């Protein structure tokens, strides 16, 4: 089985977010980057599936050389080789198109990624890649088994779970508890160095969207405590101060 | 340092940090209070490759150097110094003694089990009446043809009860003679070899410390490590490297205490502002940080010297001395920054305060380090 796992390189969940150049650039200074947490689940399940079924596991990232440490970590965790499409990722359509371009040439049985990145959180790349390749895509997938070339999986839906079965090839956006995050071991870290990391140029295409500016969420206001029996006062404040009623 | 080394080190640090946060942090208090030695964590660290960091790949180790070893040890000790201490004793004392002085058969027999964490290692030099004065040890080994009979006891031995294999130094010549001791490797369960009392300690309580007892313990000569009469000299070489471990353990302990104090100082408000805005607190944090940076550089310098295969006695003693004193000073100040809360078990700094004191004592007290340092700098 040929598996492709697409990973994002995103700011650590505890990073302080700020912007420069008149709020048009994300300020990367001092920010620690990690593999997208949802992508990390996809990678962990892919490593397990490869252990069970054999085959190959390729990890892919659309990004600049700044992503290399995250790609090396994925190799240390268990991917056999890596592809980096050497470009600054812009919007979801652009990223999906770049992934589809590679996937078209390599006919993977399974393309896994996180349900969404944790920086822009669009959560649409898996769907777009599926459409572009003309194969099914599902998200968010929280359980996945492969039996006799078929995928059996569970997906979170409003108020419950949906159990599905589909033929391969397939694109899946993953989330916990599909697998437990894997911590690479020392030997994995050392052998990651000798695994191929192929850097390929991006396919040129027009930008469909233009980023105008970023704004931070409003700072948290002061917390007012209202006694449980004062429901009227609470309603009045919600009307007059918070203006949400 | 090359980019490759730096990147590897960063990934090793991230890996160990993730492991320690996930599997060690949630249990710190319970293990400390119960004096519980978590052998399962040792096995898990073996799976990660942390139990044989310096062991070459052909013996099942990770084949890394002292720089990576120090980096990993700092990360573990930042979270729980007692696990750091156990990791240090296993890697740099027991496993390293077999690696450096064992013959091929002994290396094949023990290193894969130790490096994978399947077995836990112990190392015994100290005795109830001989600490720094190891040359006068009273545990004796008497040769009878192809066998040796050991009698005596060792104390303050890390993993003295749980160690599956122990390297022990026994006197085979005259007291005080540099060539009067020999090293042996002894497996748990060998008749005549038992463990005694487990120490009830001030700190480092999740790391097991116990007594070893030898009563007419007969072992074949194939269990001898290196030449007869070389045990003491081997031990000094092992301790040269061992001091780098304790320096790293100290740095980790100091960083753990400092980070807790820094975060608390930013959060805690008094007189309408966070206490980090008061110079009395801010200057403490500046001193702590500066001491830690110096200790870290000395420790990595000793590690790099060792990795280059050069003599490291001076650097390792300097690093151990400075870093351990820093750990004690920083954890003391960290408790002060926390004030009354620092004195309670609800916050992590009281444990760093207790744990840190081992650092200025274990593997050579600060006074012994000063002796080593002064001898080295006044030589010739």
Question: Mean pLDDT score of chain A, rounded to an integer?
Answer: 94
Does residue B366 have a pLDDT over 90? yes
In a domain, A60, yes or no: yes
Contact A101, A203 (CB under 8 A): yes
Give the pLDDT score at B230. 97
Contact list in B for residue A35 (CB cut-off 8 A) is none
CATH of the domain at A7: 3.40.50.620
Does residue A206 have a pLDDT over 90? no
In a domain, A221, yes or no: no
Which CATH fold topology does B122-231 show? Butyryl-CoA Dehydrogenase, subunit A; domain 2 (2.40.110)
Domain count, chain A: 1
**Cβ contact (<8 Å) for B15 and A190?**
no
Mean pLDDT throughout A200-219? Answer: 90
In a domain, A176, yes or no: yes
B363 is an active site residue: yes
What is the spatial distance between Cα B319 and Cα B57, in angstroms, rounded to a whole number? Answer: 28
Least Cα distance to B299 among B373, B241, B367, B358 occurs for: B241
**Cβ contact (<8 Å) for B62 and A190?**
yes
pLDDT in tens, B119-166: 999 999 999 998 888 888 999 999 999 999 999 999 999 999 999 999
**Cβ contact (<8 Å) for B15 and A189?**
yes
Contact list in B for residue A189 (CB cut-off 8 A) is 8, 11-12, 15
Contact B78, B259 (CB under 8 A): yes
Provide the pLDDT confidence category of residue B13 given band limits of 50, 70 and 90: very high
Contact list in B for residue A194 (CB cut-off 8 A) is none
pLDDT in tens, A6-56: 999 999 988 989 999 999 999 999 999 999 999 999 999 999 999 999 999
Does residue A188 have a pLDDT over 80? yes
In a domain, A225, yes or no: no
Two domains, one topology: B3-120 and B238-378 = no
Provide the pLDDT confidence category of residue A218 given band limits of 50, 70 and 90: confident
Percent of chain B with pLDDT over 90: 93
Q: Which contiguous run of DSSP H or E holds residue A240? A: helix A231-240
Does residue B69 have a pLDDT over 90? yes
Out of A69, A73, A190, the one facing B63 most closely (by C-beta) is: A190
Pick the residue with more confidence: A210 or B75?
B75
Closest-CA residue in chain A for B45?
A185
ipTM: 0.83
Query: Assign residue A139 a region: left if phi > 0, alpha if psi is -120 to 50, beta otherwise?
Result: beta
In a domain, A242, yes or no: no
Question: Which range among B82-91, B174-183, B283-292 shows the weakest confidence by mean pLDDT?
Answer: B174-183
Contact list in B for residue A186 (CB cut-off 8 A) is 12, 15, 48-50, 53, 62, 64, 68
Least Cα distance to B67 among B6, B110, B20 occurs for: B6
Count of beta carbons in the 10 Å neighbourhood of residue B50: 28
What is the spatial distance between Cα A138 and Cα A115, in angstroms, rounded to a whole number? Answer: 9
Closest-CA residue in chain B for A183?
B15
Q: Which one is catalytic: B104, B259, B363, B376?
A: B363
Residue A244, CA distances (Å) to A216, A221, A235, A241, B39 in order = 21, 14, 10, 8, 56
Give the pLDDT score at B380. 76
Least Cα distance to B12 among A33, A67, A186 occurs for: A186
Q: What range defines the domain where residue A173 resides? A: 2-215
- Which CATH number is B238-378 given? 1.20.140.10
Mutate to test the interface with B, among A68, A71, A189 (most CBs of B within 10 A): A189
> If interface means Cβ-Cβ distance under 8 Å, which residues of chain B face chain A?
4, 7-8, 10-12, 14-15, 18-19, 22, 47-50, 53, 57, 62-64, 68
Question: Mean pLDDT score of chain B, rounded to an integer?
Answer: 96
CATH class of the structural domain B3-120: mainly alpha
Out of A73, A187, A192, the one facing B62 most closely (by C-beta) is: A187
Out of A69, A183, A186, the one facing B10 most closely (by C-beta) is: A69
Contact list in B for residue A69 (CB cut-off 8 A) is 7, 10-11
pLDDT in tens, A101-130: 999 999 999 999 999 999 999 999 999 999
Count of beta carbons in the 10 Å neighbourhood of residue A95: 27
For chain B, give every domain's residue range.
3-120, 122-231, 238-378
Residue B144 pairs with which residues in a beta bridge?
A: B147
Give the pLDDT score at B176. 85
Helix orientation angle between B81-88 and B231-267, rounded to the nearest 10 degrees: 160
Does residue B68 have a pLDDT over 90? yes
| Alpha-helical regions (H) of chain B | 3-19, 28-34, 39-48, 66-79, 81-88, 96-101, 104-115, 231-267, 279-307, 313-338, 349-359, 366-377
């Amino acid at each position: 089985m040929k598996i492709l796992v697409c990973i994002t390189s995103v700011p650590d969940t505890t990073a302080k977010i700020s912007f420069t150049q008149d709020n048009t650039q994300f300020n990367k200074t001092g920010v620690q980057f990690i593999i997208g947490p949802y992508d990390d689940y996809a990678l962990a399940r892919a490593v397990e599936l490869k252990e069970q079924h054999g085959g190959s596991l390729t990890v892919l990232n659309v990004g600049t050389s700044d992503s290399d440490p995250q790609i090396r970590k994925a190799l240390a965790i268990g991917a056999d080789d890596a592809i980096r499409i050497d470009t600054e990722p812009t919007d979801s359509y652009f990223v999906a198109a770049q992934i589809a371009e590679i996937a078209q040439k390599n006919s993977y049985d399974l393309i896994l990624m996180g349900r969404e990145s944790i920086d822009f959180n669009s959560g649409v790349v898996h769907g777009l890649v599926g459409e572009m390749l003309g194969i099914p895509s599902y998200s968010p997938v929280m359980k996945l088994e492969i039996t006799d070339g078929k995928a059996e999986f569970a997906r979170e839906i409003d108020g419950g779970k949906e159990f599905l079965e589909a033929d391969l090839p397939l694109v899946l956006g993953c989330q916990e508890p599909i697998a437990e995050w894997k911590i690479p071991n020392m030997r994995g870290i050392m052998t990651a160095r000798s695994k191929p990391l192929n850097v390929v140029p991006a396919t040129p295409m027009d930008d469909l969207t233009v980023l105008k500016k970023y704004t931070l969420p409003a700072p948290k206001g002061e917390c007012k405590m209202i006694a449980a029996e004062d429901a009227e006062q609470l309603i009045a404040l919600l009307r007059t101060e918070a203006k949400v009623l | 340092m090359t980019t490759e080394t730096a990147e590897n080190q960063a990934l090793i640090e991230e890996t160990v940090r993730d492991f320690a946060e996930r599997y060690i942090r949630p249990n710190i208090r319970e293990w400390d209070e119960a004096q519980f030695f978590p052998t399962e964590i040792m096995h898990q660290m073996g799976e990660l490759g942390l139990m044989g960091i310096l062991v070459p790949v052909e013996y099942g180790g990770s084949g890394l150097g002292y720089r990576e070893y120090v980096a990993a040890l700092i990360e573990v000790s930042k979270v729980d110094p007692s696990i750091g201490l156990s990791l240090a004793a296993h890697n740099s004392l027991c496993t390293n003694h077999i690696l450096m002085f064992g013959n091929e058969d002994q290396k094949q027999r023990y290193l894969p089990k130790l490096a994978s964490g399947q077995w836990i290692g112990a190392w015994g030099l100290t005795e109830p009446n001989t600490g720094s004065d190891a040359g006068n040890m009273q545990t004796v080994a008497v040769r009878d043809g192809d066998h040796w009979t050991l009698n005596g006891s060792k104390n303050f031995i890390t993993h003295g009860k749980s160690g599956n294999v122990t390297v022990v130094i026994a006197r085979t010549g005259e007291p005080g003679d540099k060539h009067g001791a020999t090293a042996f490797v002894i497996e748990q369960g060998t008749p005549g070899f038992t463990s005694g009392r487990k120490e009830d300690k001030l700190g480092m309580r999740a790391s097991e410390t116990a007594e070893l007892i030898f009563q007419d313990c007969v072992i074949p000569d194939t269990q001898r490590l290196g030449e007869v009469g070389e045990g003491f000299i081997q031990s000094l070489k092992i301790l040269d490297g061992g001091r780098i471990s304790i320096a790293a353990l100290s740095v980790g302990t100091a960083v753990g205490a400092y980070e807790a104090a820094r975060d608390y100082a930013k959060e805690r408000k008094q007189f309408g502002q966070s206490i980090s805005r008061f110079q009395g607190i801010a200057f403490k944090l500046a001193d702590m940080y500066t001491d830690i940076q110096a200790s870290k550089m000395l420790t990595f310098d000793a590690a790099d010297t060792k990795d280059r295969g050069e003599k490291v006695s001076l650097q390792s003693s300097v690093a151990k001395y400075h870093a351990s004193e820093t750990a004690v000073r920083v954890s003391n100040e960290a408790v002060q920054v926390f004030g009354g809360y620092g004195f309670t078990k609800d916050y992590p700094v009281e444990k760093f305060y207790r744990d840190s004191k081992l650092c200025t004592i274990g593997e050579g007290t600060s006074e012994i380090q000063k002796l080593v340092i002064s001898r080295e700098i006044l030589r010739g």
